[in-house]
């Protein structure tokens, strides 16, 4: 019980800090880890001078940079560490349009890190494009592997009447999603612990997922997609989600695929799985070349490039 109370107090402190940052007009667009590192290595960038430096670029900062109240909130949230007289935030804050989102600090090395970055922005655009052109109402939706909750928040904001569930195996992701939903003033988002859709009942008008798609030797949850080149989790989400779609319901899967000698193994598997008349689907490359630095890692010796792809699958209106 004491641990639960401490966690609730920490989350409340983060929520209040987010509210203060938003009131101050804070904005920050998150970049790739490689770009983050390059910016922070520049001359004069070793120490924070602004709130964007401290909570976006995640640079160490002197206690005088922020108010005593904000410092107290960060300490209460267990979101600070001290190094050589400077403080370092354990969380970062990013913006996407009107949303402000808390996520893990840089670098995201921890097993339970909650990542937010360029993939999140592309995922958000993928969802927004679908919602703008969807005619059938969304009553029940789920965001698989929700991370910071961006998928759930976008759906809940566009369909205020809908019941939107954000699921993840990572308790920290569920905590951050809850905070981010509260910051956005969304009351139709609930969170649940689930490995893909295990333990989640019912059918859905909309399922969205942005799973990890790298091969990561450390098998960090936010990064490792399983299999030799990170494709296994994406295929599992496709397999489990198709059976849970309502008639006319849609799965939006934003993921990545390692291209070997021009071959897209994910697309080949999708063609086999969705060969029947029950499905209408569309698959396309959203970005043909992402995370090029990964090609230097063991296991990627034969990979030409990593592509970000979007798959939309809609179930026919026939009997489910």
Q: What is the CATH number of the domain that holds 260?
A: 3.40.50.150
- Share of residues in the chain with pLDDT > 70 (%): 98
pLDDT tens by residue, 106-138? 998 888 999 999 999 999 999 999 999 877 789
**Cis ω for the linkage preceding 160 (within 30 of 0):** no
Greater confidence (319 vs 317) lies with: 317
Average pLDDT over residues 62-78: 93
The single residue listed with the structure tokens 């397999």 is 239
Residue 3 has pLDDT above 70, yes or no: no
- Where among 80, 104, 128 does a domain terminate? 104
- Where among 46, 79, 104 does a domain terminate? 104
The answer to whether residue 110 is domain-embedded is no
The single residue listed with the structure tokens 């900062």 is 61
21 and 145 both lie in a single domain? no
The answer to whether residue 53 is domain-embedded is yes
Which DSSP string corresponds to 44-87?
T-SS--SHHHHHTS---B-GGGS-HHHHHHHHHTT-EEEETTEE
126 and 100 both lie in a single domain? no
Residue 318 has pLDDT above 80, yes or no: no
Question: Given this model, what pLDDT does residue 320 score?
Answer: 46
70 and 168 both lie in a single domain? no
168 and 287 both lie in a single domain? yes
63 and 138 both lie in a single domain? no
pLDDT tens by residue, 176-194? 999 999 999 999 999 999 9
Question: Given this model, what pLDDT does residue 220 score?
Answer: 79
pLDDT tens by residue, 267-292? 999 999 999 889 999 999 999 999 99
User: Residue 256 corresponds to which tokens in the numbers above?
Assistant: 């990545």
220 and 258 both lie in a single domain? yes
Question: Given this model, what pLDDT does residue 216 score?
Answer: 85
36 and 96 both lie in a single domain? yes
The answer to whether residue 144 is domain-embedded is yes
* Rounded Cα distance, 278 and 9, in Å: 48
Whether 223 contacts 216, CB under 8 Å: yes
The answer to whether residue 112 is domain-embedded is no
Q: Is 272 exposed, middle or buried (0-12, 13-18, 19+ CB in 10 A)?
A: exposed
Q: What is the 3-state secondary structure (H, E, C) of 101-158?
A: EEEECCCCCCCCCCCCCHHHHHHHHHHHHHHHHCCCCCCEEEEECCCCCHHHHHHHHH
7 and 49 both lie in a single domain? yes
52 and 150 both lie in a single domain? no
The answer to whether residue 111 is domain-embedded is no
- Where among 82, 104, 126 does a domain terminate? 104
Alpha carbon dihedral 119, 125, 127, 132, in 10-degree steps, equals: 180
The total number of structural domains that make up the chain: 2
149 and 270 both lie in a single domain? yes
Range of the structural domain that residue 122 is part of: 118-315
The answer to whether residue 109 is domain-embedded is no
15 and 146 both lie in a single domain? no
Greater confidence (119 vs 2) lies with: 119
* Rounded Cα distance, 136 and 232, in Å: 31
| Residues contacting 22, CB < 8 A, separation 6+ | 100, 183
94 and 127 both lie in a single domain? no
The answer to whether residue 264 is domain-embedded is yes
The answer to whether residue 113 is domain-embedded is no
């Amino acid at each position: 019980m004491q641990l639960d109370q401490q966690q609730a107090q920490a989350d409340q402190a983060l929520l209040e800090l987010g509210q203060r940052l938003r009131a101050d007009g804070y904005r920050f667009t998150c970049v790739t880890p490689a770009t983050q590192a390059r910016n922070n290595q520049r001359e004069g960038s070793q120490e924070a001078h602004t709130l964007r430096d401290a909570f976006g670029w995640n640079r160490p900062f002197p206690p005088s940079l922020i108010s005593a109240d904000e410092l107290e909130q960060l300490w209460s949230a267990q979101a600070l560490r001290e190094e050589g007289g400077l403080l370092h935030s354990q969380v970062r804050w990013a913006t996407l349009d009107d949303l402000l989102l808390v996520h893990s600090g840089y670098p995201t090395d921890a097993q339970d890190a909650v990542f937010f970055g360029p993939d999140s922005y592309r995922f958000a655009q993928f969802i927004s494009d679908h919602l703008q052109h969807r005619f059938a109402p969304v009553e029940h939706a789920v965001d698989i592997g929700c991370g910071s909750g961006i998928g759930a928040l976008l759906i809940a904001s566009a369909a205020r009447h809908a019941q939107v569930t954000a699921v993840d195996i990572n308790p920290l992701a569920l905590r951050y999603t809850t905070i981010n939903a509260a910051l956005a003033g969304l009351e139709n988002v609930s969170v649940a612990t689930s490995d893909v859709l295990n333990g989640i009942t019912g059918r859905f008008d909309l399922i969205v997922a942005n799973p990890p798609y790298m091969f990561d030797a450390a098998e960090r949850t936010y990064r490792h997609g399983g299999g030799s080149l990170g494709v296994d989790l994406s295929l599992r989400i496709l397999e489990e989600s198709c059976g849970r779609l309502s008639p006319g319901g849609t799965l939006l899967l934003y993921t990545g695929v390692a291209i070997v000698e021009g071959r897209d193994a994910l697309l080949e598997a999708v063609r086999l799985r969705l060969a029947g008349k029950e499905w209408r689907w569309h698959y396309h490359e959203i970005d043909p070349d992402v995370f090029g630095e990964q090609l230097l890692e063991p296991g990627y010796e034969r990979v030409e490039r990593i592509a970000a792809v979007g798959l939309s699958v809609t179930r026919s209106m026939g009997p489910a």
